[in-house]
Structures are given as structure tokens and as C-alpha cells.
Amino acid sequence: MGCVSWKITGPCMCGLTPCVTVEYWQPQWLVETVKQPGTVSLDILSPILTAALTAFGVPPMGGGGAANASGAPGTNLHYSEAHVWAFPQLLGGPCTSCAPSATGFGLHYASEVDPVWRTAVATPSPINLVLQLGVWAPLYPRGGKVIHSSPPVASGVEAARALDIAHQPIGTSPNMEAHPVIQPSPATSICMQLASPQPRPCFPAGTPPVVWESGAVSPKGTYVWIFWAKKTCCVHPATATCGITLIGGQGQNFCPFQQLPTTLPSAP
């Protein structure tokens, strides 16, 4: 919970009343990558995923994904299915009038219903050199196949691509591929946190693996990521700290404290 990183950034006015501007982060999406189609990391999510796959006419179970392919030309080739869930706001915060959300997990994207996730190919373009997930991999092609020596990094790439798809089903030109989504996400984020199998602090997508990857390999190939969103609002000082900000610490969020872009940028 140190990722919350609450702080007051200055004064503001609520009409004629002096107030303060607060900034903090809250968990906005849970993204899981799994090797076996139709499976989930949390049992509570299984009925929701099964219902969505059934609605799309996709069998809920199928063959497993490729954990690691060896030999040319597929050395270090990883593949997983990805699911993007809305993270329930059970605690609330200053920017939501200190009230929790009544909604539960909502499914934004399930790669099992997306043929492009398995066949994505990027169109050569200079924009692909800009849309990089830091030092991990290109954002495009937005699919489940990743070539990398690290399974956790491969999962991080898949998770970031899946969230980008949920927010922007039609890709950026010239990669105008169309992905079916369950429910479009109104935003995206570059601030991610490995939640399972080993929790890590928050960091921007593309952070060098040496900083966070050690000891984070999942024996089952299943990974869970939390993507955080920054909240900024002008509130009365009496409500400047409530909900999630009461338990959020400092020093565990290495994401830039700035407005999040709508597309994932390259590393500086």
C-alpha cells in the first residue's frame, strides 16, 4: 500500500472556501497473465470470465500457452492469455468524497476472445520506435507473444499491452488492428506493481529488470499485476485524508508523479 503516496501539493479554493489540492495513487486495474486459457488467478473471478467467454462463443478451456520455446527462431518466446479487470475501490478516498465504490470486479478485456492477440504483427513504422515499453519490448505488436529471457518481464509486457488494448481497441496508425473488448477502459496507466507471485513496489512499465525481477519467477507461469492511477482534486482540509490515503505509505512508489498519458511512452 506504499504505492498510494498521498501528499498535499498546495492551496486551492472550493468556491469561496479555502481548500487544499491533494494527489495520491489508487489501484485501478488488476491484470493477470495465465498459461491455460479460461483460468484465473482468483477463484472469485472465474464465473465472470466464464460468462464472458460463453457470451462470445469461446470455449472456457483450451490448450495451454507456451511458457518458453527453445531453439531458433523461437528462443525465449513466451505466450500467455491476459485478462484486464477493474479494481474495486473498497476504501474510497478524498477524490471520491471518501466513499467506497459499490461495484466489484468488472472485466474489460479477455485475450481468449481476441484472435489478434495470437496473430498480432506490427507494421514497420518509425512510431514503433517511440511506443516502447521502456527497456522491455515494443508496445506493438499488441499480442501475447514476447521474446525475452525473463518470464516476469514477458508477463509485464503482456499485461501492459492488454491494458492498452482495453483502453484503445483500435491501434495507433499504421497499426490499426482491431481488438474485441468486453468493456472499454476509460483510461490507461504506466504505473504497475507485481502483486503475485512476489509483491514488488510500483514502478513505470519498462523499468530495468535488475531493479525488481530477482526471485519473481512464477512456478505455474501465472502473474498478477496491479496498475495504479493518479488522482488529483481540490478538497476541504477535513477530508484531505480518508479511505485509502489513511493507510498509504511513502517511498514505495517509483512512478513519476505526473498526469498519466493516454499511450505508453518510451523510457527516458
| Per-residue pLDDT tens over the stretch 178-207 | 999 999 999 999 999 999 999 999 999 999
Tens digit of pLDDT for each residue in 32-85?
A: 999 999 999 999 999 999 999 999 998 755 444 444 444 445 579 999 999 999
List CB contacts of 17: < 8 A, sequence separation 6 or more: 236
Residue 241 located in a structural domain: yes
Are 65 and 36 within 8 A, CB to CB?
Answer: yes
Residue where the block lists cell 511506443: 131
Q: What is the enclosing helix (H) or strand (E) of 161?
A: helix 151-167
**Measuring CA to CA, how many Å separate 71 from each of 46, 68, 243, 255?**
35, 10, 51, 37
Q: Which domain holds residue 191?
A: 2-246
Residue 177 located in a structural domain: yes
- Rounded to whole angstroms, the Cα distance separating 133 from 225 reads 15
pTM for this entry: 0.89
Residue 255 located in a structural domain: no
Question: What pLDDT is stored for residue 263 in this prediction?
Answer: 38
Cell numbers describing residue 204: 513505470
Are 24 and 245 within 8 A, CB to CB?
Answer: yes
Nearest-Å Rg of the Cα atoms of the chain is 19
With pLDDT > 90 as the criterion, what percentage of the chain qualifies?
Answer: 78
| β-bridge pairing 203-204 and 191-196 | antiparallel
Binning pLDDT at 50, 70 and 90, where does residue 252 land?
Answer: confident
Cell numbers describing residue 180: 474485441
Overall number of domains in the chain:
1
Residue 218 located in a structural domain: yes
List CB contacts of 85: < 8 A, sequence separation 6 or more: 29, 30, 31, 32, 45, 105, 106, 107, 108
Residue 197 located in a structural domain: yes
Question: What pLDDT is stored for residue 67 in this prediction?
Answer: 46
Residue 120 located in a structural domain: yes
Dihedral, CA atoms, 130, 133, 138, 141, nearest 10 degrees?
-110
Tell me the pLDDT of the chain averaged across its residues.
89
| β-bridge pairing 17-34 and 223-235 | antiparallel
Burial class, 163, CB count within 10 angstroms (exposed 0-12 / middle 13-18 / buried 19+): buried
Side-chain-side CA neighbours of residue 242 (13 Å): 15
Residue 253 located in a structural domain: no
Binning pLDDT at 50, 70 and 90, where does residue 250 land?
Answer: low
Q: Which residues pair with 11 in a beta bridge?
A: 20
**Measuring CA to CA, how many Å separate 142 from each of 117, 124, 152, 211?**
7, 14, 17, 25
Q: What residue type is 155 in one-letter code?
A: S
Residue 126 located in a structural domain: yes
Question: What pLDDT is stored for residue 266 in this prediction?
Answer: 36
Tens digit of pLDDT for each residue in 107-134?
A: 999 999 999 999 999 999 999 889 999 9
